[in-house]
Chain A
Amino acid sequence: MQDVNVDKKLNIKGVVCPYTLVKSKLAMEELKVGQILEILLDYPEAADSIPKAMLNYGHTVLKVEKINLTDWIIQVRKEVED
């Protein structure tokens, strides 16, 4: 998988739903269109629900990767202004 330039990193390990999405959404709002957010999380449900939510907001999900036994990395590119 190709590496991309990440503009902002968000660590929400230990955070559960729906605050995983609340924090990810707020972080996306601070980006400009075209910028990329990388989310590090360990709540299994969120690894599934955050990419879906980001697609619904109109953004592009670049990567969903399980990096070890407990953690996922999700990369999202902002496509629309909030």
Chain B
Amino acid sequence: MDFTEEQLQRYSRHIILPEVGGKGQKKISNAKVFIIGAGGLGCPVGYYLSAAGVGTIALIDNDNVELSNLQRQIAHSMKTLGMNKADSVKKTFEALNSDVNVIAIKDRINNKNILDLIKNYDIIVDGSDNFPTRYLINDACVMLKKPLVSGAILRFEGQVTTILPGEGPCYRCLFEDPPPPGLVPSCQEAGVLGVLPGVIGALQATEVLKLILGKGKPLIGQLLVYDALETNFRKVKIPKNPDCAICGKNPKIKELSDYSQEYCTL
């Protein structure tokens, strides 16, 4: 297998794992991952996937780095304050590993652009911070049958699940519709422990690597809920809803809708 000496050193701890080996490391370097959001979750997910040598990592974010982000968004820095977040993480990830092709997209994901943006990627990671985007990503991934690793955080609690369209349930099987605007507070309103996205993002990155390698049991049909205050992990089973509006037998949703208007305050 054609690794350079530098790559042998960089990935040595992967290569000697029976579950990875040279073959697995090649799979990792051929993988293309699309991360939505270069914030609390996108930073650690992209950071670890860059370290692991994932060949292509795209990140989309339309916001600029602010001082209030640095309490948890570990791939940004004082040096990138004011810079677009996707550009900021691109600098960080490329400094960590030049094997990785980091594609920074300065845009907001929406119902018009999502299918085109993600169609050429193997795995999609949801690191968004609002429900409309979460449902949009879910629906788009079901339509394109793309594996989706979803994560969410608030205050001291986080959750992770892996959605394999066609095999397991989707986000809409769990919660049919987004909650009404204002019901669930955002991190901006309610706060979040800075390290929490690190824990949840590391779990998401782990799920991505397992999917790439085809090893272990992904969190399909399960929602892993982490309570940082109680130091408690609990798995909640998610049944597949045969009448699900997007992944059921007769899906009602035929095209991606635009929720952004009603949620504009987020």
Contact status B23-A22, CB under 8 Å: no
**Of A18, A19, A22, A57, which one neighbours B18 at CB under 8 angstroms?**
A57
Q: Given A26-B3, A29-B1: A19 and B21 within 8 A (CB)?
A: no
Bound Cα distance from A4 to B3, whole angstroms:
30
**Majority DSSP secondary structure for residues of B touching A:** helix
Is the CB of A10 closer than 8 A to any CB of chain B? no
Bound Cα distance A57, B20 (Å): 12
Tell me which residues across on chain B come within 8 A of A57, comparing CB atoms: 18
**CB pair B21 A25 closer than 8 Å:** yes
B95 at interface (Cβ–Cβ under 8 A)? no
Q: Are A25 and B1 also in contact (CB < 8 A) when A19-B8, A82-B21 are?
A: no
- Counting contact residues on chain A (CB < 8 A from B), the size range is 10 to 19
Nearest residue, chain A, Cβ from B8: A22
Residues of B within 8 A of A73 (CB): none
Question: What 1/0 flags go to B73-91 for Cβ under 8 Å of A?
Answer: 0000000000000000000
Q: How many residues of B contact A (CB 8 A)?
A: 12
A71 and B143 CA atoms in complex are apart in Å by 59
Q: Output the nearest chain B residue to A30 by Cβ-Cβ distance.
A: B1
Contacts of A58 in B (CB 8 A): 18
In angstroms, Cα B232 to Cα A12, docked, is 47
A53 at the B interface (CB under 8 A): yes
Whether A66 sits at the interface, judged by CB under 8 Å, is no
CA distance A58 to B18 in the complex (A): 10
Tell me which residues from 41 to 79 in chain B have a Cβ below 8 Å from any Cβ of chain A: none
The CA of A81 and the CA of B77, in the complex, are separated in Å by 45
Within 8 A of A (CB), among B1-43: 1, 3, 8-9, 12-13, 15-16, 18, 21-23
A56: which B residues are within 8 A, CB to CB?
A: 18
Interface residues of B (CB under 8 A from A): 1, 3, 8-9, 12-13, 15-16, 18, 21-23
Given A19-B9, A26-B1, A57-B18, 5 more A-B residue pairs with CB atoms under 8 Å apart are: A22-B8, A22-B12, A22-B15, A25-B21, A53-B16
Rank and list the top 5 A-B pairs by shortest CB-CB distance, nearest first.
A26-B22, A22-B12, A82-B21, A22-B15, A29-B22
Q: List 11 A-B contacts (CB under 8 A).
A: A18-B16, A22-B8, A22-B12, A22-B16, A25-B22, A26-B15, A29-B21, A29-B22, A29-B23, A58-B18, A82-B23
